[in-house]
Amino acid sequence: MVKGYRMPDGFLWGGAVAAHQLEGAWDVDGKGVSIADVMLAGKNGVPREVTDTVLPDGNYPNHRGIDFYHTYPADFKLMKELGLKAFRTSIAWTRIFPNGDETEPNEAGLAYYDALIDEMLANGIEPVLTLSHFEIPYHLVTEYGGWRNRQLITFFERFARVVFERFGDRVKYWMTFNEINNQTSWMDPHPMLQNSGLKDYDEADAEELMYLASHHELVASALVTKAAHEINPNIQVGDMIAMNPVYPATSKPEDIMMAERAMQARYFWGDVHALGQYPNWLRKYWDHKGFDIDVTPEDEAILAANTVDYVAFSYYMSWTVTDTGDEWLAYNEESNHGDNPFLQKSDWGWQIDPVGVRWAMNWMWDRWHKPMFIVENGFGAYDKLEADGTVHDDYRIAYFQGHIEAMERAVVLDGIPLIGYLPWSGIDIVSASTGEMLKRYGFIYVDLDDMGQGSGERYRKDSFKWYQQVIASNGEDLEV
């Protein structure tokens, strides 16, 4: 037996997805159009095109997902067999408020999530819910300009209060904004749209606009945290960041300083969520750039008084940076990072760094002193369904072996408090970044291709049996 470390009692082993990537039924039961619904299919190396409206002949993978809207009862039975203790998904904002700015919710959407949550619980699976996971109502983009508009704070708080009041008696763990710090890549239009609903802006204004939208999101997140605690004191609210460690490319002091600033730039969202204030370096940088971020004294009081209960994060990869010679250490995520020669890559160019999990958990604990929750970690790959219905994904098992072992060492040897581990994605779903089905993450294979063709049948991969054994042993048995 490849021996791991037994995790604490009550540790939540599970899986994670987002509503728009698997539900399908994009226009059913009063659901409105989200930003995911206007993103055409891309592929490896080809970004997804965003259309102004839904084109009648367009290939929109999120419209169909894996039909989870209708298949979830059978899928949760499979997940129960897998042994999942928890399952993370999101509440599609557009199912509850189709345009985002209504004053009354859509009862059909609430009823759907009532049934979904009850089905999870009936199978012994604890629901973990995200409020905003790249699913902003498109109406809020076209009519309000996305999160650049302070009015969205009111709309988001209204949405959150409705779902807390409806589901808070059955759902303990919530997150506000998924991978809010993806916007560090403000020069890439896709995270700007997916995270903040920003489009049709002057590229010269992109960085300032990102900080402005982020500030509105951070205030909204704090108000939502306050609302949750008022509605049900048992609710725990976390932020959710994409944790990608940034290492210095060499031991040169200038590279080390640049790596420190890169980490500060990527994770200031965590500082505000967990510590309740903006870091000094960022305020100085805003002044230097002449940015007007509209941080009011009232905003500062809200942020300080309503920090998160835990820090949730995704972990997929790491990279390196080198010194740019800029005295302000301005960090450009698209051009200022490189590969680590000691690491291998996935088929999509993501560097595989299991040790980085332990490093990152220690870094976050020392910085924020909050319990943690790994709510995404996984390996996207081309899987082959054999004629006998098997899928031999030893590469995925090897990936998880290394990452789970590193996670366990952080908990058992370093004493980091960790709520659970929810790998992405439990079951194959549409990729958010490329729109592909062929970029597969699940322990459960779904027989659909990039055009939505296939039987839709579910098959257990080799990794299904392996993860089943990991869960049954509470992390102790990592043997293949």
pLDDT in tens, 159-214: 999 999 999 999 999 999 999 999 999 989 989 999 999 999 999 999 999 999 99
Question: Quick check: 385 pLDDT over 80?
Answer: yes
Which of 135, 376, 405, 436 is catalytic? The answer is 376
Asked if 257 contacts 323 with a C-beta cutoff of 8 angstroms, the reply is yes
CA distance 51 to 58: 9
Residue with tokens 């859509």: 106
Of 350, 347, 371, nearest in space to 172 by CA: 371
Question: Quick check: 265 pLDDT over 90?
Answer: yes
Give the 3-state secondary structure of residue 296.
Answer: coil
pLDDT tens per residue across span 94-121: 999 999 999 999 999 999 999 999 999 9
Question: Quick check: 433 pLDDT over 90?
Answer: no
Percentage of residues in the chain with pLDDT exceeding 70? 100
- pLDDT-based confidence at residue 419 (cuts at 50, 70, 90): very high
What pTM value is reported for the model? 0.96
For range 58-79, the mean pLDDT:
97
Q: Is residue 455 part of a domain?
A: yes
Question: Quick check: 334 pLDDT over 80?
Answer: no
Say which residue, 43 or 123, is predicted with more confidence.
123
- pLDDT-based confidence at residue 325 (cuts at 50, 70, 90): very high
201 by Cβ neighbours in 10 Å (0-12 / 13-18 / 19+) ranks as middle
Q: Is residue 264 part of a domain?
A: yes
Asked if 136 contacts 100 with a C-beta cutoff of 8 angstroms, the reply is yes
Averaged confidence pLDDT in the chain = 96
Q: Is residue 5 part of a domain?
A: no
Question: Quick check: 1 pLDDT over 70?
Answer: no
Q: Is residue 65 part of a domain?
A: yes
pLDDT of residue 239: 99
Report how many domains make up the chain: 1
For range 336-364, the mean pLDDT:
93
Question: Quick check: 79 pLDDT over 70?
Answer: yes
Tokens of 452: 């939505």
Q: Is residue 337 part of a domain?
A: yes
Q: Is residue 478 part of a domain?
A: no
Q: Is residue 2 part of a domain?
A: no
Tokens of 459: 């098959």
- pLDDT-based confidence at residue 64 (cuts at 50, 70, 90): very high
For residue 408, give its domain range: 12-472
Q: In the chain, what are the helix, strand and coil shares in percent, each to the nearest 5?
A: 40, 15, 40
CA distance 196 to 177: 10
Question: Quick check: 2 pLDDT over 80?
Answer: no
For range 29-45, the mean pLDDT:
93
- pLDDT-based confidence at residue 349 (cuts at 50, 70, 90): confident
pLDDT of residue 333: 81
Tokens of 66: 């894996």
For range 396-422, the mean pLDDT:
98
What CATH number does the domain containing 60 carry? Answer: 3.20.20.80
Q: Is residue 3 part of a domain?
A: no
The question of whether 376 is a catalytic residue gets the answer yes
For range 27-53, the mean pLDDT:
93
Distances in whole angstroms, Cα of residue 246 to Cα of each of 188, 319, 411: 19, 5, 22
